[in-house]
Amino acid sequence: MPAPPPPLNCPPGLEYLSQIDMILIHQQIELLEVLFSFESSNVYDIKNSFGQRIYFAAEDTNFCTRNCCGRSRPFTLRITDNVGREVITLERPLRCNCCCCPCCLQEIEIQAPPGVPVGYVTQTWHPCLTKFTIKNQNREDVLKISGPCIVCSCFAGVDFEITSLDEQMVVGRISKHWSGLLREAFTDADNFGIQFPRDLDVKLKAVMIGACFLIDYMFFERTR
C-alpha cells in the first residue's frame, strides 16, 4: 500500500494510519510451537481492511522469558513498515497478571518513532470487568476500554469497546476473531480487528494497536 502524504505532526511511518478506519492483525503460526510446545517469539502481519500488509510486528524476547513467564512476560514488540523501517515500539514491563491484586497492574508503552512515547495503556482494576485506560504521552486519560467479565473466545469472538472517559460514547472496538476449531485448539495464533474513526489522531491509533497486543498477551496467549 503506497504511503499517503503525511498529515501535520505525524510521526514518521504512521502516514498509513491517517487514511484508514480499520486494522486487521493476524498472528503467524509457529511450527515449533505446534510440534514441541515451546513458546517462540510472536510475529504478526498488520493489514488494512483490503488485506494489504502495512506493517509487520515481531516480539523481541529471549527463550527463558517466553517459557518461564508465559503470558505475563515483559516484552519489546517492534513494528516495522514494508521497507523494514521500525516505526512503532511497544514496551511491556513485568507486572502482576492477577486480577485480584489491584497494584502493579498491566501496562504497555507505545513509542513512535522508537524512543519517543506517544501514549500508554494501563489496566484499571475492577472486581468483575476487564478495564483499561488509554493515556496520551503526558499520561493524561483520553479513552477507556471495556471488555467482558469472562474473556473467553470459545466458538465466538470477543469484543472490547473503546469509549469516551464517561463511557457514554463508543468510539471504536478491538475484536478478537474466532479462528476456527483446529487453529484455536492447537495454536495461539490469533486474529484481531481494530476499528476507530478515520479522523482520529494517528498517535491514538498507534496506542490502540498497542492495546490490542496487550490484550492478546494477557488473555489469549496460551500457557504452556
Rg value, the chain, Cα: 17
Digit-coded pLDDT (tens) for 146-185:
998 777 656 567 999 999 999 999 999 999 987 655 454 4
Residue with cell 476499528: 195
Q: pLDDT-derived band of residue 194, with 50, 70 and 90 as boundaries?
A: very high
210: Cβ–Cβ under 8 A, 6 or more apart, which residues? 88, 90, 108, 109, 110, 119, 121
Neighbouring CB atoms inside 10 A of 97's CB total: 18
Average pLDDT, the chain: 86
187: Cβ–Cβ under 8 A, 6 or more apart, which residues? 29, 30, 33, 34, 222
Q: Which sign, positive or negative, has the C-alpha torsion 137, 139, 141, 145?
A: positive
CA distances from 102 to 105, 123, 124, 138, 165 (A): 7, 10, 8, 23, 20
- Confidence (pLDDT) at 129: 85
Contact 27, 39 (CB under 8 A): no
Tell me the H-state helices in the chain: 31-36, 63-69, 181-186, 202-215
Higher pLDDT, 143 or 69: 143
Helix-strand-coil percent breakdown of the chain, rounded to 5?
A: 20, 35, 45
- Confidence (pLDDT) at 37: 66
Q: pLDDT-derived band of residue 221, with 50, 70 and 90 as boundaries?
A: confident
- Confidence (pLDDT) at 54: 95
| Residue closest to 67 by CA, chosen among 29, 37, 91, 92 | 37
**CA 54, 21, 131 angle in degrees (round to 5)?**
100
What's the predicted TM-score (pTM) here?
0.88
Range 110-138 average pLDDT: 94
